[in-house]
Structure 1
Amino acid sequence: MTSCLLSYGQDKEIDQNHPTTEDMVSKIQTDIDPEFMYEYQQTKFVPPEGKTLLIMGQTVEDISEYRAHFKGQPTPGGWSAYWGIPEFSGVRKAHKNETGASQDHQMLVEDFPNTVIQSAMWMVGKWEVAKNAGKGQYDDVIIKYSNWAKAAKRPIYLRIGYEFDGVHNELEPEAYVKAYKHIVNLMRAEGVDNVAFVWHSYAAKPYKDYPLSAWYPGDDYVDWVAISVFGHAYGGTDFGPYCDDVLAFAKAHHKPVMIAESSPIQGIDKNSNAVWDQWFVNFLSFTYQKNIKAISFITTNWSKASIDGISEWKDSRLNNNAQVAKAWFKETNKARYLKQSPKLFKDLGYLKP
């Protein structure tokens, strides 16, 4: 960190062989780079200055296991869930995919009052999904989702075509932008006002090396900019040029930044706390330094996910390691992190009808 950073922490000598929870947390650099403290424009549901919204995910099974292991811990401020634009599944009722993982937005509404939902809409270039969305082929699904969202009566952060620039999604910018705008216009026409629209970059080498700006639908259509953080955090707090580009773009367009997906993909070992220094310290220090306004952490066993391209990802459940989990909660239980609360919606600027 340079001397221009605003420091809210102090150095402490640590026993590297037998670190306490306090020792582990003290390694997090809580400096905020003034460069990332800027005014936001044309956005919604942004935490107050000095606050970060805490979200956890990402399947019904992951969330249930998390709650079972950490009953004494505060409920996060929100939960993440997924669905796909071609069909209205996993929203109003549970849907289990071929891997055995389930999604259920409505369960999150019913079981967790005073929390938000971070909703990920799957939309890719393959199978002409994005093209069909832009042509209105899935309008009936969007209308059903709009009706559900209005009935939820809570802030919803909708990631339209999440990781739009990821090579794995094969999204052509023109088709993506057209589909994104069509979806937002339709939801607005349906009277949806409790959804913040999130433009989520993979923050890695982009599909066909298109420039980031090629996928941008415009300030009027974007409330938040988001990134994914997986392997990024293993090399320190410099997450690379592609991540830097997204953060600079967000600042130029006066948008808050969310880490929409994050996980230590090399796993959380049951018998070693090494992942804390190797990933968590960097990840959490980055969130302070870059003034990240929301983080979504995925606690899951990636080796059982059966997702193309991640065959080497490992078991990253927090409950694998009690000491790492204690350090995580020692940090995230700070007042900085917005969690479930009767005043959460007010803090986010949402007035429940």
Structure 2
Amino acid sequence: MPTNKLSIEEMVAQIDTTVDPDFVYAFQKTKFVPSDGKTLLIMGQTVEGITEYLDHFSKETIPGGWAAYWAVTEFNGVTETHTNETNSSQNHQMLVDQFPNTVLQSALWMVGKLDIDKNVSHGKYDSVLQQYSTWAKSINRPIYLRIGYEFDGMHNELEPEIYIKAYQYIVDFLRNDGVENIAFVWHSYASKPYKDYPASNWYPGDEYVDWVGISVFGHAYDDPNFGNYCDAVMEHAKVYKKPVMIAEANPIKGIEPKSDAAWTDWFVNFFSFCYEKNIKAISLINENWQRLHIDGIGEWKDGRLHNNPNVAKAWFLETDKERYLKQSETLFKELGYE
């Protein structure tokens, strides 16, 4: 028997919709930001995960955007499907072709290993950046580009000074090539950082950052503020008056078929945080982590929405609110992209 004794409406009512006025501020030096009281809804993050989501929820409204990945070292997964070593596939163009009137959240993989970050600012990957720039200018939609996503994560081994040079180099390259439909996202892991550097050490400067991004995984189960590291990033965003995007999120302890614990233990905290901190975009990863070959996530489980009908219904009851921006002929205008 399911452990849940609440109706779907009661499940959603558990969310605290109180907004902290300290996080309601006039955004500066940014672009493609939803208006007051609105949050952009994005889903991801692989061809397989997105396909499964659509197969199970074909009658639901299409989200406002989709997430995809590529690497600064090679132009794969952008214009054609590319299956990588994690046993998952990426294809930006597929999302463009299949879903008009949606945005793209594009994650650029860049790490410190093999001097990849150093090589960026030395021009080694200029041909890749040029291909991406040309492609970006060819599609008529906003792109939220996460450069070296989770820059402070221990798994990425990015030294702050080298990362900043690489980040600035990429932004300058794309701007100098005339790209205007990209918002640049500075995306923190929002957990214990590499070598215990404060996240602010990686900040490339106000002129180079349109959005601040955070990841929300295991720490959403405990502290309602998602821990001190996340709190520091949120405070940084507030100081520089930047909108915040939850760029990656998933209940990594899994969504069990016969228990709604994932909703009570993770989703309620997740949505309450979004309201309290005035989060302007959220990106949920629809994924079974057990099938992926990714180092360091051996304990992560199956966090796909369709595992549990109650959790899925509660998710859609919440995100069907007018607050959340989904696919629409007016979406781009609402984001200031015309």
Query: d(CA) in 1 for partners of 2:290 and 2:51?
Result: 18
Deviations 1:222-276 (A, max 9, x none): 0000100001110152211100100000010110000000000000001111111
Aligned match for 1:226, one of 208, 213, 222: 213
Q: Does 1:157 align with 2:144?
A: yes
**RMSD of aligned Cα (Å):** 0.9
Q: Does 1:132 align with 2:125?
A: no
Query: d(CA) in 1 for partners of 2:337 and 2:24?
Result: 22
- 3-state SS of the aligned residue for 1:176? helix
- 3-state SS of the aligned residue for 1:313? coil
Q: Which residue identity is paired with 2:177?
A: E
Q: Which residue of 2 aligns with 1:217?
A: 204
Q: Which residue of 2 aligns with 1:6?
A: none
- Cα drift, residue 18 of structure 1: 2.0
Structure-to-structure mapping, 1:1-353, within 5 angstroms: 18-351=5-338
Deviations 1:152-195 (A, max 9, x none): 11000000000000000000011100000000001001100000
- Cα drift, residue 209 of structure 1: 1.2
- Cα drift, residue 205 of structure 1: 1.1
Note closer, same or farther for the CA distance 1:17–1:67 as it changes in structure 2 (3 Å cut).
closer
Structure 1 consecutive aligned stretches of length 4 or more whose deviation exceeds 4 Å: none
Q: Which residue of 2 aligns with 1:13?
A: none
Unaligned residue ranges in structure 2 (runs of 5+):
none
Query: d(CA) in 1 for partners of 2:237 and 2:105?
Result: 19
Query: d(CA) in 2 for partners of 1:163 and 1:47?
Result: 23
Query: d(CA) in 1 for partners of 2:230 and 2:87?
Result: 32
Q: Which residue identity is paired with 1:80?
A: A
Query: d(CA) in 2 for partners of 1:155 and 1:50?
Result: 20
Query: d(CA) in 1 for partners of 2:208 and 2:144?
Result: 13
- Cα drift, residue 17 of structure 1: 5.4
Query: d(CA) in 2 for partners of 1:24 and 1:136?
Result: 52
Aligned pair count? 336
Q: Which residue identity is paired with 2:297?
A: I
Assess if the C-alpha contact under 8 Å between 2:85 and 2:293 holds in 1: no
Query: d(CA) in 1 for partners of 2:45 and 2:193?
Result: 24
Query: d(CA) in 1 for partners of 2:224 and 2:7?
Result: 23
- 3-state SS of the aligned residue for 2:73? coil
Overall identity of the aligned pairs, in %: 64
Query: d(CA) in 2 for partners of 1:184 and 1:336?
Result: 31
Q: Which residue identity is paired with 1:117?
A: L
- Cα drift, residue 98 of structure 1: 2.8
Q: Which residue identity is paired with 1:319?
A: H
Q: Which residue of 2 aligns with 1:3?
A: none
Q: Which residue identity is paired with 2:313?
A: K
- Cα drift, residue 350 of structure 1: 0.1
Q: Which residue of 2 aligns with 1:10?
A: none
- 3-state SS of the aligned residue for 2:301? coil
Query: d(CA) in 2 for partners of 1:201 and 1:99?
Result: 22
